[in-house]
Structure 1
Amino acid sequence: MTSVPEPPPERPPHDLGLGRVLSEQSGERFLNKDGSFNVQRHGMGWQSVSLYGSLLTTSWSAFFLTMGGLYLALNALFGLIYFALGPGALSDEPGGGMPRFLACFFFSVQTFGTIGYGHVYPLSVRANVVVTFEAFVSLLGVALATGVLFARFSRPQSRVLFSRNAVVAPYQGGQAVMFRLINGRRSQLMNARVEAVHTQFETLPDGRRVRRFAPLTLERSQVTLFPLAWTVVHPVTPHSPYWQVTLEQLAEADAEIMVIFNATDEAVQQTIHARSSYKPHELRWNERFSDLYRRTPRGELYVDAERLHDTEAVRSEV
């Protein structure tokens, strides 16, 4: 009796970890143009809130507004405490009302910043206790603010610029899907790698629509040095999801190309990441990218980053 060979194990999906339910039921693009995910989580509660993480990832304007607001709030709080201690708590302060509160507030600012002009000082034991506690809080606050500020400066920030559109252009007697990217910082990137995954819906014989993921074979997926620009090429072969397919078919299947980039920043010796994606309406058929390279009057070659998104029409060779 001959044994029936077991079927080969099913290959894991190339869904970049998005999961089956999200992959099959999401009606939006998975990756935004800026690399952020269209995935939301609810019901996490306050456990998911991280002030440190938020201060690291927020914009610089929001960071300084937050730190400035906390600074003013703390001084206003201690100013209210000094105000509540009564007129005899501090020397050389107005009689009452808003002028006395402002005097208490600015005394808190001077104490918090260890300025100490000298003409206002605590008179009572209770006021000296509050000053002691505020000095301790200011010591911790300055240390924490300095640490977060240093962490923001030292955190590797990628500025990899992706072309706004991808093109389907003639390539070696056939066609290829191409997009390009530029290193947007003066520091050099090394050991750069790029991964592109195509996803679209397919209709099964029973009528169900399921989303499939397929890694795109790239002409070159890694470069040792990435100082200037890189045009990423996916040759369209019979094994490619773009073989003999039209733009309308891609739009109907809700296709998307997800791009993941990572490299090592030579200046800080840390890994940086960047992401982007392309939907069917961002594909330019039978167009090619315009030349990025220019020469100075002295003949030196340079890359014109302003032409990153420029394309021009070409005749199809197939």
Structure 2
Amino acid sequence: MQPAGIRSANAARPTSLPDLNADLGLGGAVAEGSAERFLNRDGTFNVQRQHTGLQGVNLYGELLTVSWGRFFLLMALAYMLLNAGFAALYNALGSSALSEMPAPGLQRFLACFFFSVQTFGTIGFGHIYPRSVAADWVVTGEAFVGLLGVALATGILFARFSRPSHRMLFSESAVIAPYQGGQALMFRVMNGHRTQLIDLSAEVTFSHFEEIMVEGLPGAGAELRRVRRFYPLALERSRVTFFPTSWTIVHPILPDSPLWEQTGELLEADDAELLVVLRATDDASQQSIHARSSYKASEMVWNARFRPIHSKDNAGHLRVDVARLSHIERVTGKNAAP
């Protein structure tokens, strides 16, 4: 008797080890050893890199991808630290460095700090000014740093605004629904921005564990091993030119599909995951965007289909209800899976 999840065709045919590593770039250790999903629903990967050191820090990339709240917080922190550093220099030059210097202590440091802010921002109120050559040199250095800082902050801010962005919405669940006398795997996507997307393409990969016969070392013969395999799914339509409403992506479950004769229990036992990559062009900026997501076996609903999402108003204009993107209904009848 075969254990659950074994495919007899694969078990009868020994498979060489190099073929087992033909994944999506996740690596054999990640593919076979991970107990988590590969892709989170927001498209991020469940892989953490350790001991990269300072050389692994890409400050420009971090500033481009960090959230807006953290970005402004980092900019404010850098601004305060720069001014505090120059304030410490002015304070260290003594009471003769600047005019109207208070007595040593917190008041003097604050006076130096706010003078640094005026210099950094080229405000120049005029009631405090440098009175020594050393202070003039510090002011010169701060003015130069201020020019560079403003240029860098402006450049990063512009780069953040000009980055291609998207709000691709995925249905909360994928469904196994009746389709042309059989069944099909379906999930729904929608553009959550008011800008238009064109030339949208989809790539869907099915991943799960299989127990297959694998050729071992010379003389050791074949052995039964549980390995993760990746199968690109053939879609009813893999590309749409226009994307003004929503798109239900359909994979017909035919005899050559890896989902043929599968059940929800088998997919759960085999740790199945559906990996989705979407690519499109933003019509406003003409920039390419991409979105990723995934569905685990527990997020695939059997014998269900999506409810209608389109309607028309009194004037006959087509409307799409974003709130109904994930609404499904159960299906019964001869096409329902047992």
CA distances 1:140-169 after superposition (whole Å, capped 9, x unpaired): 000000000000000101211111110111
SS in 1 for 2:54: helix
Q: Structure 1 stretch 199-208 or stretch 140-149: which is displaced more?
A: 199-208
Matched, 1:171 2:179: yes
The code of the aligned residue for 1:30 comes to F
Matched, 1:282 2:299: yes
Matched, 1:45 2:56: no
The code of the aligned residue for 2:92 comes to A
**What is the distance in 2 between the residues matched to 1:227 and 1:70?**
43
Matching residue of 2:146: 138
Match of 1:80 among 78, 83, 88: 88
Aligned-pair distance for 1:15?
2.3
RMSD over equivalenced CA pairs, Å: 1.7
Aligned-pair distance for 1:14?
5.9
**What is the distance in 1 between the residues matched to 2:128 and 2:150?**
23
SS in 2 for 1:288: strand
**What is the TM-score of this pair, normalised by structure 1?**
0.94
Aligned-pair distance for 1:12?
8.8
Matching residue of 1:196: 204
Match of 1:27 among 12, 23, 35: 35
5+ unaligned residues in a row in structure 2: which ranges?
1-17, 214-222
Q: Structure 1 stretch 149-158 or stretch 83-92: which is displaced more?
A: 83-92
The size of the alignment, in residue pairs, is: 311
**What is the distance in 1 between the residues matched to 2:31 and 2:19?**
16
**What is the distance in 2 between the residues matched to 1:43 and 1:118?**
50
Assess if the C-alpha contact under 8 Å between 1:174 and 1:317 holds in 2. no
**What is the distance in 1 between the residues matched to 2:152 and 2:23?**
39
The structure, 1 or 2, with the larger RCO (C-alpha pairs under 8 Å, 6+ apart) is 2
SS in 2 for 1:249: helix
**What is the distance in 1 between the residues matched to 2:106 and 2:308?**
66
Match of 2:72 among 61, 64, 84: 64
Aligned-pair distance for 1:313?
1.3
The code of the aligned residue for 2:205 comes to V
**1:151-300 superposed matches below 5 A:** 151-205=159-213, 206-300=223-317
Aligned-pair distance for 1:43?
2.6
Identity fraction in percent: 58
1:296–1:92: structure 2 CA closer, same or farther, 3 Å change rule? farther
SS in 2 for 1:93: coil
5+ unaligned residues in a row in structure 1: which ranges?
1-9
Matched, 1:305 2:305: no
